[in-house]
Structure 1
């Protein structure tokens, strides 16, 4: 296993798996850097993975309502801001829960809490600030969506502990990370409907796909400290399981798009289905290049899921805009 933490200077506080030349380490005020690192702002892939299911549902629901409006464009901005804040809050909570585990793993021991850059009290205050700002944004939504946002805290709270009692902690991550698909559908449509549920399930299958790849980076350390994961559970059978998750994600996304847009124009439906095809093709490309014993490859493929999700979000956003463009 590569131990990039050996290259981290104790003075600069940079986290081992941070993105090279990231904005936090280069531009953020020095006093704020430990807190932004605690929120994983130096590793933006997770924010994208939280945001994209929100955009999928928002765009698909908007497509059923005749196109983008000022309100749905605000929801898109709120999704972006909220994803940054809630991903940061979730990571802060995760690190508070996992401080001892993180200190025992090469890739994570340079994080702010185990490395001593912030105290637990400071981390709790930072967590509270992020949650407060997130809730302030949520208050601009309809009441049904606000309640959906409050309920989302349940899987977020449980996830850090899942690796202690189940081999499938990635399921709990999927429940938390894809909740935005339900929330933003309800915000636009006013009620929870099957296209949102199946899109949510597609997102969970996608999370099982990408986070199993991610977990292969830590499987040796996880085995030593007794942390469970699908990477350890599947071991050499990982490619077969990932193929199953790929098929589930694509089939469920197809059902969601078709059931939502059954009455739309052929061109709108074709564009949306093209996005699902591009999404599935990207996952297949990842599977073809996977090497579960190469941590650099696993990290690269995990991060590339941003591009897979963007392909679907872009197609659905275009499908939602098409009725307006054709006027």
Structure 2
């Protein structure tokens, strides 16, 4: 399928949820249960997802071979929104040699001895690679903003902390992303937009289904108490950092198959727009290829001679 046809197909799933201009952004305008009116069953959604994953796998091979662009996928969400499952299903066919996943947990003592972006900078994907941040530097303006004791643990000199600290951090993040995009890093940011009611349903399933007990954490329940604070922090973060170069996708997450489909479509669309091509060999490489073919052909002829039965010395 030619690129235009692919782009026309995936835009149905991406355009409604892409945010590139934060000025008028409000979370209330995005329905966590939206499926664009599509009444596809789970099997159909899975079929479309597999198709998208196949396209992505093919494009990843060219991305790796070209060794020029890189792709950074940022996933943010409230607990139980399905980040892990989305990454698993969407990236199922991607070659792991060209893809790295980083889950940022509580900062170490070494992390806390550096600036707030330091530990994330070291994990930005190299050229030809796809990098996945399962939670990211946005935690520094989300959980750290909601629980400000975490901010105080970062040991920033008081003289550097003003009343506008969160806007300053968001501006730093926007500049950081602008810098990366100018170096050839394609950035896609996904906020898996889970509703308060659906989060409760998923927590209840974890509590009552023995096979999902391992997913339960009392900390998740405690964080639920701060839901409104998190929604405010997310809204501020998306509003301050959405751009054409580094868009946000506010993905409806109440329906898991549909949310995975939207994420896959957004990644396929972004990579397709790069118009990737396998690198053309140089003149010197063409000469090497010709010499290699000649040598292999000669080996084939010699092998045929060796395989022929020896003549009878008596004749």
Of Structure 1 and Structure 2, which has the larger fraction of its residues in helix? 1
TM-score (norm 1): 0.30
Higher Cα Rg: structure 1 or 2?
A: 2
TM-score (norm 2): 0.30
Relative contact order: is structure 1 or structure 2 higher (C-alpha 8 Å, sep ≥ 6)?
2
